């Protein structure tokens, strides 16, 4: 009796699904398709990277899928999506240019010419809700749907602490200062390989001045005049829900 093995499949960095938008396959469905690689995701679940895309499969709408799954499945899909992108985009050694191969033991690719190992890329980002008593600061990014407002976010730069990134991003994007920066929680965000570190911070001064690029509109909102918010599965919404519930 072998263990039950399920598969997620990817091709060219994208997860695939069946015609019902289900990404998890109970048995390996394509005996005639060559695999570039196979990576363990969890107990009894593997990612198969296909060389060619079987015509009966579709690209998975990852955002929609993540919105409807539980925390365990969210983690599985986020891990699969990030490894799929990493496999697709890291094919040669960044030091000597030789083609890299999957390591036999670790989740890594190794260069047999110079010995360099590369691991799946994770890009740390901060995401922060600024609060000021009974109001919170929400902002509109031009990539959002019209009328949608959310928390502020940005990548942590080389050599920077997460707290310093929080203060810098807020200053750059909306021109205000904060204090009492406190960590809340984190979430893998596989678009394509972010790790969102969620914070709350208190307003400490300055005029709201959107930078006009990342942020085109920003404002202070109370619980009873909130705008259109991000979907419930996103960490931004979780931070806003804490404000709504008075846990901040
Ligand atoms: Zn090398």
CATH 3.90.79.10-classified regions of the chain: 123-244
Give distance in angstroms: CA of 115 to centre of ligand 1. Answer: 6
Give distance in angstroms: CA of 89 to centre of ligand 1. Answer: 16
- Within 10 A of 143 (CB to CB), how many other CB atoms are there? 7
DSSP assignment of 122-177 equals -EEEEEEEEEETTEEEEEE-TTSPTTB-B-EEEEPPTT--HHHHHHHHHHHHH--E
Give distance in angstroms: CA of 78 to centre of ligand 1. Answer: 28
| Whether the model pTM is above 0.75 | yes
Give distance in angstroms: CA of 52 to centre of ligand 1. Answer: 27
Residue 124 CA neighbour count, 13 Å, CB half: 14
Give distance in angstroms: CA of 160 to centre of ligand 1. Answer: 28
Cα angle, residue 244 at apex, residues 241 and 246 outer, rounded to 5°: 110
Give distance in angstroms: CA of 125 to centre of ligand 1. Answer: 29
Give distance in angstroms: CA of 117 to centre of ligand 1. Answer: 8
Whole-angstrom Cα distance, residue 141 to residue 175? 15
Contact 161, 203 (CB under 8 A): no
Give distance in angstroms: CA of 94 to centre of ligand 1. Answer: 7
Give distance in angstroms: CA of 31 to centre of ligand 1. Answer: 33
Give distance in angstroms: CA of 95 to centre of ligand 1. Answer: 5
Give distance in angstroms: CA of 34 to centre of ligand 1. Answer: 26
The CATH code of domain 123-244 reads 3.90.79.10
Whole-angstrom Cα distance, residue 31 to residue 52? 12
pLDDT at 30: 73
pLDDT tens string, the chain, 248 residues long: the values are 457 789 999 999 999 999 999 999 987 767 778 899 999 999 999 999 999 988 889 999 999 999 999 999 999 999 999 999 999 999 999 999 999 999 988 999 999 999 999 999 999 999 999 999 999 999 999 999 999 999 999 999 999 999 999 999 999 999 999 999 999 999 999 999 999 999 999 999 999 999 999 999 999 999 999 999 999 999 999 999 999 999 99
Give distance in angstroms: CA of 69 to centre of ligand 1. Answer: 39
Give distance in angstroms: CA of 53 to centre of ligand 1. Answer: 30
Contact 198, 187 (CB under 8 A): yes
pLDDT at 6: 93
Give distance in angstroms: CA of 81 to centre of ligand 1. Answer: 25
């Amino acid at each position: 009796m072998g263990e039950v093995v399920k598969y997620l499949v990817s091709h060219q960095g994208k997860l695939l699904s069946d015609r019902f938008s289900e990404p998890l396959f109970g048995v390996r469905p394509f005996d005639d398709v060559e695999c570039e690689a196979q990576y363990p995701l969890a107990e009894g679940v593997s990612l198969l990277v296909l060389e060619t895309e079987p015509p009966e499969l579709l690209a998975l709408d990852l955002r929609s899928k993540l919105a409807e799954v539980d925390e365990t499945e969210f983690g599985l899909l986020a891990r699969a999506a990030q490894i799929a992108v990493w496999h697709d985009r890291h094919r040669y050694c960044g030091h000597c240019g030789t083609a890299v191969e999957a390591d036999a033991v670790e989740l890594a690719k190794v260069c047999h010419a110079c010995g360099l190992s590369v691991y799946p890329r994770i890009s740390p980002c901060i995401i922060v809700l600024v609060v000021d008593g009974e109001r919170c600061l929400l902002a509109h990014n031009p990539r959002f749907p019209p009328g949608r407002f959310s928390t502020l976010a940005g990548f942590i730069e080389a050599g920077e602490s997460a707290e310093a990134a929080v203060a810098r991003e807020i200053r750059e994007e909306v021109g205000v200062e904060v204090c009492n920066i406190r960590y809340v929680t984190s979430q893998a965000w596989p678009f394509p390989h972010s790790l969102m570190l969620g914070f709350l911070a208190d307003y400490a001064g300055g005029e709201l001045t959107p930078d006009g690029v990342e942020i085109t509109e920003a404002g202070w909102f109370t619980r009873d005049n909130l705008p259109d918010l991000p979907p419930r599965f996103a960490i931004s919404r979780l931070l806003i829900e804490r404000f709504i519930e008075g846990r901040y």
